Amino acid sequence: MAFDSGVSTEAGTFVIAVCSYPIWPPGFAIASWIAYARKKHRLAGILPVLVLIVILALSSFFYSLGV
């Protein structure tokens, strides 16, 4: 239903974000385990949240620009 009003960049971005969602949690888990293995325990706990916030902030920024 994202393309009901026609093909647009916003609709395409939304579909890509929704379809790539299953990739994010394993990616966060891998990054956290790498940080944990390097004895950066605090970063291992905070890294997934920080990456998700950055992704959401960037997507909102690019959406407001109309890119």
32-66 pLDDT tens trace: 888 889 988 888 888 888 888 887 788 777 777 76
pLDDT surpasses 70 at 67: no
Contact 25, 33 (CB under 8 A): no
Angle among Cα 24, 44, 47 to the nearest 5 degrees reads 50
17 vs 11: CA distance, rounded Å: 10
27 vs 52: CA distance, rounded Å: 11
- Return the pLDDT at 58: 80
